[in-house]
Amino acid sequence: MDKTLAELAQHVGGAVVGDGQVIIERVAPIEEAGAGAITFLANPRYRRHLSDCRASAIIIGLEVAQGLPLGDGKGYLVASDPYLAFAKILKLFEVSPYFSETVSAFAHVDPTSELGAAVTIFSQAYVSGGAKIGRGTVLYPGVFLGAGSQVGEDCVLHPNVVVREGCRIGNRVILHAGVVIGSDGFGYAGRGDGRVKIPQIGVVVVEDDVEIGANTTVDRATLGRTVIGRGTKIDNLVQIAHNVVIGENSVIAAQAGIAGSTRIGRNVTLAGQVGVVNHIEIGDGATIGPQSGVAKRVAPGAVLSSGLPASPHQEWLRVMTLLPQLPKLWQAVRGLEKKLAQLAKREGSKI
Amino acid sequence: MDKTLAELAQHVGGAVVGDGQVIIERVAPIEEAGAGAITFLANPRYRRHLSDCRASAIIIGLEVAQGLPLGDGKGYLVASDPYLAFAKILKLFEVSPYFSETVSAFAHVDPTSELGAAVTIFSQAYVSGGAKIGRGTVLYPGVFLGAGSQVGEDCVLHPNVVVREGCRIGNRVILHAGVVIGSDGFGYAGRGDGRVKIPQIGVVVVEDDVEIGANTTVDRATLGRTVIGRGTKIDNLVQIAHNVVIGENSVIAAQAGIAGSTRIGRNVTLAGQVGVVNHIEIGDGATIGPQSGVAKRVAPGAVLSSGLPASPHQEWLRVMTLLPQLPKLWQAVRGLEKKLAQLAKREGSKI
Amino acid sequence: MDKTLAELAQHVGGAVVGDGQVIIERVAPIEEAGAGAITFLANPRYRRHLSDCRASAIIIGLEVAQGLPLGDGKGYLVASDPYLAFAKILKLFEVSPYFSETVSAFAHVDPTSELGAAVTIFSQAYVSGGAKIGRGTVLYPGVFLGAGSQVGEDCVLHPNVVVREGCRIGNRVILHAGVVIGSDGFGYAGRGDGRVKIPQIGVVVVEDDVEIGANTTVDRATLGRTVIGRGTKIDNLVQIAHNVVIGENSVIAAQAGIAGSTRIGRNVTLAGQVGVVNHIEIGDGATIGPQSGVAKRVAPGAVLSSGLPASPHQEWLRVMTLLPQLPKLWQAVRGLEKKLAQLAKREGSKI
């Protein structure tokens, strides 16, 4: 697996500063990287870490490179997108886990299910009747596939993932531990003792190259489909309600929640703990800041925030006491304006 | 399963407009519904979808009906509560999953547990000693029932649900995948290195007709009971802390959290991501808007909000910079009022 | 197990008021406690419950004791830290669950794993190759230990806990049902169709005496370690992102979320639903109030808040309409100040 720094630079389309022939054996965090290791420093703020760094090479961006005495004897790999270079080099050195490409005798696999070649099913996984699993896919222990569900090729379903009946997962999808796909949408009609459950007979469609974080939940549609678009990445503990449709390549951070039937465009970013109400649309490329509440349509490309920055408790209490009095404050200011105008008029001056 | 539109209208107590003898075979979303399908349009906002709709019949409410040329040759089922009509018709056409009404040889069922008739236990479920399971209940793979726990009749426990020791689940309860009932409450005494865990020896009681969403957690009481009242519906990823008591027929949306010992009344609605502090009471029929923080007692029937609407980032930054200066702003206005009064007095005018 | 009240008082270092020889057989909540039970009342607010209380003894603090007619014939155990006394007495009466100290034949335990003495592994648990489990540890059904993971002594891993490859859990750690340790951090480079996953090859280290609540997720580091410090207690449904480091004895309430690479000090308290951005530091002993958003460095010992108290919906709407106009309000006030000064000047008065 060993590579020279020059080979790595070529792999990522970057430039070498220093000795390109130094051998790189692994990737390590900057505080721990020693001889044989390549490490990574993207943020100019952390430039001070460089002086103590004993790595054989450091991946940096142009911004960091500009402030450096590059002839300091250290090896540098300078890349225009250092994160991307880092990702590619990590990928090179990543040790893929070994999969048996067999079905454990201690898994339950219904005879009416269809399995592609080289599928790995660990013991204690459960595959229901009519389920289809594509070539090379891995089901860890505790995974449950419901009746007639489909999982494409080269997917990894981590331990205790649940994909309920009829749901469809594309190719190269990663579902982290505890993810639930296809739980019933939260729908009731009537009220009080007369409240009845609206049967949720739709499905979830997760398109290719999606990754979904641990313990995230995606509800099935009432009718039709809840859709997670191709390439979209979802973090841990996110809630996606019934009939939500998310476009391609969007990014949804941890603990965000999207209420029923809302449509999220392509390349949208929702930061952590964002909440989006039901039945609205968030346009392509929009970015919503942490903890924001989105209550109405968002235009494409909009950058919205509503998270409140924490402040010292006593100060905050004072502000919170005054906040409900904003209407009174406006009234006071309007009153002052009027009185001042009267006074000025009486006095004959123009202000 | 096929029904005429007239039969469906009779089933839900609605009126037919158009041909009551048209045969309905299924329910479909409005964009996909063709001949033989009934669909649903509740929101007048979406009335424009009607023109393209090729369904054999459409469930609508009076509000939608009023704006329509009802003699357009389409079949309509007009109902006073169209959601309820829709729920009942979906229920008619719902294909219930098949359950074997047997216990898998690959489940672990302790010999000291008691099982009612027609119980289905899938392989890889685990039933501890002393547990009791009522007639017709279904335990999917990965379900864990702790020692002495009880689950009533006609319940469905989806894959990987955990009900810990001593907890009691009523009849017709649905627990979605990954729900945890009876985890230890979050209670400690002392501080720093001297902090000790307060044993949590109470239980959770989930009453009849409750439904709890995927990956929601309900902690056991320190002493006594955490209670989810009859008919209450809880969405995904909700946190219910120790000793919380929730009344009947309340509705709690996704990612809401209720801290310890708080009492929630009957018919209360908590919207998504609401947080409620510990040791307070929310009165019957109260409604709390999305993302609100509830820090003190709420009167019955109150309608509260505190979620902040997202706004353009730059505007928001400006507002957030000024918000901490509210006290100063009030002072400025008070100062102006005083000065203006002095000026007016000196001038001899009355304003 | 029966103890006299005097023995209990001695055990916790408290004082008896009343008959020290009364026999205590159990702990019960105040509403249900009868003869033979000891109960607990810490909050002076609830003092009124005392009159109806039929417990044989009541644990109280000095504050409650002061307002009482202590010679009322009831038994009291007065303690300086009544919560701590309560915790210790509950611990005395707690019935520990029985563990077989054997490995179920229906668990999967890789032959290359190493198990200490008296380890209990329930059926349907899964232990991967190279995993190590310390003496006395318990793995409930559905637990998954990844390749080369380590769990120390006297730990309890509740049902369906996942500890992924290479992660290390200390001694006396409690992981509640559904906890996921070591899921991939949420890291990507590039954008749109060119977005690539950054391999997450680090681990999670959970130190001794940590307790983690149900369905909480802790992501593995990109490189290096995500760390949960010794004695730290984490509630349900919390998100800990990659490379976060939490110090000793901190307390993190339910549904809080900490973004990547942030460092949380020792003895820090995060209340429920707090969100902390990435790459910042929260100093030792800081306390952050419920629902607060923490966007920048927090000094040691700071007490911050930003949660918004819920208020009546109509009032709130009015305030929310005015909030974005704060900049205009400031301008209006500045304008008034200027005009008033001009007017005063023209008039020759000094105000």
Question: HEC string of B236-302?
Answer: CCCEECCCCEECCCCEECCCCEECCCCEECCCCEECCCCEECCCCEECCCCEECCCCEECCCECCCC
Answer yes or no: is pLDDT of A47 > 90: no
- Residue C59 pLDDT level (bands cut at 50, 70, 90): very high
The predicted pLDDT at position A349 comes to: 59
- For B155, other C-beta atoms within 10 Å of its C-beta total 24
Residue of A nearest to C190 (CA): A84
Cβ pair C217:A349 closer than 8 A: no
The predicted pLDDT at position B291 comes to: 97
Q: Are A195 and B233 spatial neighbours (Cβ–Cβ below 8 Å)?
A: yes
Cβ pair A219:B237 closer than 8 A: no
Min distance A218 CA to chain C CA atoms (Å): 16
Nearest to A340 among C199, C306, C340 (CB): C340
Task: Say yes or no: C158 contacts chain B, CB-CB below 8 A.
Answer: yes
- Asked casually if ipTM beats, i.e. exceeds, 0.85, the reply is yes
Residues of C in contact with B307 (CB under 8 A): 308
- For C80, other C-beta atoms within 10 Å of its C-beta total 12
Cβ pair B323:C326 closer than 8 A: yes
Answer yes or no: is pLDDT of A351 > 80: no
Nearest to C238 by CA among C212, C269, C210, C263: C212
Answer yes or no: is pLDDT of A265 > 90: yes
The predicted pLDDT at position B128 comes to: 98
Answer yes or no: is pLDDT of C206 > 90: yes
The predicted pLDDT at position B350 comes to: 53
Residues of B in contact with C323 (CB under 8 A): 308, 319, 323
- Residue C344 pLDDT level (bands cut at 50, 70, 90): confident
Min distance A63 CA to chain B CA atoms (Å): 26
Residues of C in contact with B236 (CB under 8 A): none
Residues of A in contact with C332 (CB under 8 A): 333, 337
Task: Say yes or no: C139 contacts chain A, CB-CB below 8 A.
Answer: no
Q: Which of C11, C49, C158, C242 is catalytic?
A: C242
- Residue C63 pLDDT level (bands cut at 50, 70, 90): confident
Answer yes or no: is pLDDT of C119 > 60: yes
Selected residues 309-328 of chain B with any CB under 8 Å from a CB in chain C: 309, 311, 315, 318-319, 322-323, 325
The average pLDDT across A4-18 equals 95
Min distance C58 CA to chain A CA atoms (Å): 35
Q: How far, in Å, CA of A196 to CA of A114, rounded?
A: 37
Mean pLDDT (chain A) is: 94
pLDDT in tens, A100-157: 999 999 999 999 999 999 999 999 999 999 999 999 999 999 999 999 999 999 999 9
Q: How far, in Å, CA of C200 to CA of C222, rounded?
A: 4
Nearest to C189 among A86, A248, A344 (CB): A86
Task: Kindly report which listed range (A65-69, A75-79, A260-264, B206-210) carries the lowest average pLDDT score.
Answer: A65-69
Task: Say yes or no: B344 contacts chain A, CB-CB below 8 A.
Answer: yes
The average pLDDT across A216-233 equals 97
Cβ pair A192:B267 closer than 8 A: yes
Task: Say yes or no: B336 contacts chain A, CB-CB below 8 A.
Answer: yes
Token duo for residue C266: 């020792």
Nearest to A271 by CA among A323, A231, A306: A306
The predicted pLDDT at position B257 comes to: 98
Cβ pair B313:A289 closer than 8 A: yes
Q: How far, in Å, CA of B10 to CA of B6, rounded?
A: 6
Coil/strand/helix, residue A58: strand
Please give the radius of gyration of chain B, using alpha carbons only, rounded to the nearest integer: 28
- Percentage of chain A modeled with pLDDT above 70: 99
The predicted pLDDT at position B344 comes to: 82
Coil/strand/helix, residue C327: helix
Residues of C in contact with A154 (CB under 8 A): none
- Residue C64 pLDDT level (bands cut at 50, 70, 90): confident
Task: Say yes or no: C104 contacts chain A, CB-CB below 8 A.
Answer: no
Nearest to B236 among A219, A277, A336 (CB): A219
Token duo for residue B7: 């039969």
Residues of A in contact with B158 (CB under 8 A): 162, 164, 183
Mean pLDDT (chain C) is: 94
Task: Say yes or no: A337 contacts chain C, CB-CB below 8 A.
Answer: yes
Amino acid letter for position A191:
R
Residue with tokens 């991307």: A84
Answer yes or no: is pLDDT of C301 > 70: yes
The predicted pLDDT at position C349 comes to: 59
Q: Is B242 marked active-site?
A: yes
Residues of A in contact with C164 (CB under 8 A): 158, 177
A·C CB contacts under 8 A: 240
Answer yes or no: is pLDDT of A79 > 90: yes
Answer yes or no: is pLDDT of A323 > 80: yes
Q: Are B100 and B120 spatial neighbours (Cβ–Cβ below 8 Å)?
A: yes
pLDDT < 70: residue spans in chain B: 70, 348-351
Token duo for residue C336: 């008034």
Answer yes or no: is pLDDT of C58 > 60: yes
Min distance B284 CA to chain C CA atoms (Å): 16
Task: Say yes or no: A192 contacts chain C, CB-CB below 8 A.
Answer: no
A·B CB contacts under 8 A: 236
Residue with tokens 């992102």: C241
Q: How far, in Å, CA of A110 to CA of C68, rounded?
A: 68
Crossing angle of the two packed helices A82-93 and A5-12, in degrees rounded to 10: 120
Answer yes or no: is pLDDT of A350 > 60: no
The predicted pLDDT at position C6 comes to: 96
Mean pLDDT (chain B) is: 94
Nearest to B180 by CA among C229, A138, C254, C96: C254
Q: How far, in Å, CA of C199 to CA of C191, rounded?
A: 16
The predicted pLDDT at position B74 comes to: 83
Min distance B167 CA to chain A CA atoms (Å): 22
> Please, what is the Cα angle at A260 between A225 and B10, to 5 degrees?
75
Residue with tokens 């603090």: C61
Cβ pair B29:A126 closer than 8 A: no
Cβ pair A310:C319 closer than 8 A: no
Amino acid letter for position A267:
N
